[in-house]
Amino acid sequence: MEVRIVLDQRYPPAGRLHRLTPEDRASGQDGSDSVEFVGWLGLLHALHELIEPVGEEPEPRTPTS
């Protein structure tokens, strides 16, 4: 998987993230999934949305001693 960041402006950062699969890269497409963001926290949230599989719950963490 490859994630491309397209910036529309630098400060505050705003733009779009594109997720490319190996199939997208082989066919020369820009990627099927795209998420817009504004600001640093928006960028982090967009990365989370793009990378985290939809519908899957995170594995519970077990406390370590």
Domain assignment present for residue 58? The answer is: no
- What pTM was computed for the model? 0.64
Domain assignment present for residue 61? The answer is: no
If we measure between CA atoms, which residue out of 41, 59, 48, 39 comes closest to residue 19?
A: 48
For residue range 10-63, what is the model confidence (pLDDT) as tens digits? Answer: 999 999 998 887 776 666 666 567 889 999 999 999 999 888 765 555 566 666
Q: Which domain holds residue 12?
A: 2-51
Q: How far apart are CA 19 and CA 51, in angstroms?
A: 8
How many domains is the chain built from? 1
Note whether 35 and 50 are within 8 A (CB).
yes
Domain assignment present for residue 10? The answer is: yes
